[in-house]
């Protein structure tokens, strides 16, 4: 089985721009979660989608949003980028509940 894939792997954006990251879960997995990883804050939960519905949400501003498509692929969007949004964005998938499988992440640099 193919693992979780994330695109792009690396991204450089300028303050004020917006960005869209993509995640393709493992085949058959209906849940996709997004996390932000930074050296100072560690891994922080952004949101989880299950069957196209947001099931859980972390404590991030409204500039961070996501969605899930009928094929379980998910996208997250960050608008009006700030320098502090520079981070590794990780996506994880699982069938419904249980063990999460992480992708390799998208490294976002905001300049």
Partner 1 sequence: TQLLEQSPQFLSIQEGENLTVYCNSSSVFSSLQWYRQEPGEGPVLLVTVVTGGEVKKLKRLTFQFGDARKDSSLHITAAQPGDTGLYLCAGVKETSGSRLTFGEGTQLTVNP
Report the residue number, 22 or 101, with the smaller CB distance to partner 1: 101
Interatomic CA distance for residues 55 and 41, integer angstroms = 23
**Among 43, 77, 84, 109, which residue sits at the site for partner 1 (rule: CB under 8 A)?**
43
The answer to the question of residue 86 lying near partner 1 (CB under 8 A) is no
Please tell me whether residue 31 adopts helix, strand or coil conformation: strand
What tokens appear for 44 in the block? 């922080």
Which residue stretch of 12-20, 65-73, 76-84, 100-108 sits at the interface with partner 1 (rule: CB under 8 A)? Answer: 100-108
Single out the residue of 4, 56, 66, 54 nearest to residue 29, CA to CA.
Answer: 4
The answer to the question of residue 67 lying near partner 1 (CB under 8 A) is no
The answer to the question of residue 62 lying near partner 1 (CB under 8 A) is no
Interatomic CA distance for residues 51 and 70, integer angstroms = 7
The answer to the question of residue 53 lying near partner 1 (CB under 8 A) is no
């Amino acid at each position: 089985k193919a693992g979780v894939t994330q695109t792009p792997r690396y991204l450089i954006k300028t303050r004020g721009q917006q960005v869209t990251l993509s995640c393709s879960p493992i085949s058959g997995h209906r849940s996709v979660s997004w996390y932000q990883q930074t050296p100072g804050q560690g891994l922080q939960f952004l949101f989880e989608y299950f069957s196209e519905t947001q099931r859980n949400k972390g404590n991030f501003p409204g500039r961070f949003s996501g969605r899930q498509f009928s094929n379980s692929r998910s996208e997250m969007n960050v608008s009006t980028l700030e320098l502090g949004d520079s981070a590794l964005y990780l996506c994880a998938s699982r069938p419904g509940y249980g063990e999460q499988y992480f992708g390799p992440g998208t490294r976002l640099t905001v300049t």
